[in-house]
Amino acid sequence: MAIRRWISTIDSHTAGHPTRVVTGGVPPLRGDTVEARAEDFRARFDALRTFLLHEPRGHAAMVGVVMTESTRADFGAFFLGSYKYLEMCGHATIGLAVTLDHMGLIGTSQEPTSSFTLEVPAGVITVHVHRRDGAVAAVTFKNVPAYVACRDVGVTAGGVSVLADVVWGGNWYGLVEARAAGVELAPAGVSHALATGAALKAELNAMIAAGAVAGVARPIDSILFYEAQSEAAGVVSRQLVVLESNKFDRSPCGTGSSARLAQLVARGEIGLDQPIRTRNILDVDFTATARAIAGRTDAIEPHIVGLAHITGEHRFVLAQGDPLPDGFLCR
């Protein structure tokens, strides 16, 4: 059988959400920055994104990482989504860190901690890989600054009327209290959450496009439904991120957790340097802490701690005559 294309990857999941790191098969990219090379990939090789992430090799929730060189950091990488390119992705950063450890590129298993910088389209972040007994026990990344752009925006869609805070955490979010939207933060509530979240996202973006949301010029990427809980160990934010009508983040979401931290600090519900746990609907936690940024009072520096696990090493091929060479998605 003739093979027209092959791509090698290492796959992992972070608290249930998949990451597919490309390790071979991408042609050389043009550009002086990671952002420029991501744009070059988008312009010339977008079919590789759909080939890897869409069915039959992937699915709507799949996220890809393409590594590239960087003049600003130890590594460069950009993130592929099933529908769009992402400026930053927290769960995939954790997955990439574990993949780099798996490949032996960031130190030996005997070292308690390995650290590296990573240039992504949103900026340069710092990542620490913590080991115990020769295995990765946790990954911490210092995200780009997060801030609240607008509070208490009234949105009516999907049969509900809610208030949303618009927040940047590396991607743009509309943060909505789950109970106010009638959303259950449990596996059984996902279908309703997807429909409600997609409707709220569409309406909020229409309002932004019409100039009706003060201080916000760019569309949001996702709706983050949250519920604040209190446990003996401290504050827990149970949350579910709806990206599209058929796509939600299985993890607590790294950039979403960053946005939630900024919201909680802005509302005076937590203080700086106070760790909280962000929890997905599968009861897996990240630890999230807001740090101060020198010279800024409008934003916080999020520190997110989580863990990923390798799920496989793959060599994807495109066989001659495949009737669906670029893959497909069904909403």
Q: Which residues are catalytic?
A: 89, 253
User: 314 with 64: CB under 8 angstroms?
Assistant: no
In the chain, where do the E strands start and end? Answer: 3-14, 17-24, 63-68, 75-81, 85-86, 113-120, 123-132, 135-142, 147-157, 160-168, 172-177, 222-231, 234-244, 247-249, 276-279, 285-293, 296-306, 308-319
Please list the residues that pair with 155 across neighbouring strands: 162
Round to whole Å and give the CA distance between 43 and 98: 29
CA distance 75 to 71: 9
Indicate the DSSP class of residue 295. Answer: T
Structure tokens at 237: 């934010």
Q: Are the C-beta atoms of 144 and 171 separated by less than 8 Å?
A: no
Q: At what angle do helices 90-102 and 254-266 cross, to 10 degrees?
A: 130
